[in-house]
Structure 1
């Protein structure tokens, strides 16, 4: 948990409102969107609803990590190496890779079945899933808000 909290602090410093606004809105064309699966739009309300269904906190953190890792890779994939947001997005991807080490032991046995199914669908890029066009900043706003819900009290 201690390593997760260190990574949470680093993510917290990277996902400030000012940086999300600069790198994910100002440096992108007006109304630019990224196509993501419906399940990749993970909002705070989704987490609250899942908590009400007694989904474990480990499962929720695993879901958040898995979804946002894929979202960051999709954003990073559309950027050229000289784009002002390229390095910022790469740094976020590296932090998520570090966090992945904490979740590498997660398997179907210790993650709720429903969450495991959603994660598998996101990771496989299931073609049957509906798609949404979402602004990169909105995706990172959701990432930051859900991160606070999951780690805020845990890493004080």
Structure 2
């Protein structure tokens, strides 16, 4: 009997270790920073691909909810009780997947910005994959707050069922500006600054950043501002 128990223990050791390996190898929330920083690097080129390669004042039609700004996030945090940050992060992925698909939809196969936009879409999908794997399954099975569920339903509604008043016309560059700024707001731990803790969810933070960028451009010698999400070209 003792011999049998010893055998079971010896057998259980490797099996238990084998079952534990996937858990140990699962991405941690901090590992999401790598694909998000890669996205940030790509978004630094959005001016060239989303402004210079489009006609002046060019806009595309998107859902009202896809004009996803810092003010939307701050309003939901204020008005929805006990709002989990994970819910806002899930919504961010859903919104920006739709935004990139709509931008791609208006581009011809030979449009000079199509490869760039397709690469953004792929990198966003990569980031979402890490995001999902770094959280337990039950985290995504919880019911969304009613206000967020309503937004989610409208985002996934068939286009021909969306009332005309629910569409907005926005420039591709503005949509990617929102994409980038809200990323820094919702995943701020991935974008620490040498200047100290930054409030990336504050609209005034980004207005200050624009002034700093304009001042740097006026210099004869190019100097890196060190600020995240700034357009480099």
Per the TM alignment, residue 110 of structure 1 is displaced from its structure 2 partner at its CA by: 5.0
Structure whose CA Rg is larger: 2
Secondary structure (helix, strand or coil) at the match of 1:28 reads coil
What is the aligned partner in structure 2 of residue 73 from structure 1? 101
Which residue pairs with 1:149 in the alignment?
185
Matches of 2:190 and 2:56 in 1, distance apart?
37
Confirm or deny that 1:109 pairs with 2:142: yes
Which residue of the other structure, out of 27, 40, 46, is the alignment partner of 1:20? 46
- Aligned residue for 1:124, secondary structure, equals coil
Change (3 A) 1:114 1:108: farther
Structure 1 length as normaliser, TM-score?
0.88
Q: 1:26 to 1:155 in 2, by over 3 A?
A: closer
* TM-score calculated relative to the size of structure 2: 0.61
What's 1:127 paired with? 162
Q: How many residues are treated as equivalent by the alignment?
A: 154
Alpha-carbon distance in 2 for matches of 1:50, 1:27: 34
Q: Distance in 1 between matches of 2:120 and 2:145?
A: 26
Please state whether the residue corresponding to 1:36 is helix, strand or coil. strand
Give, in whole Å, the separation in 2 of the partners of 1:90 and 1:145: 20
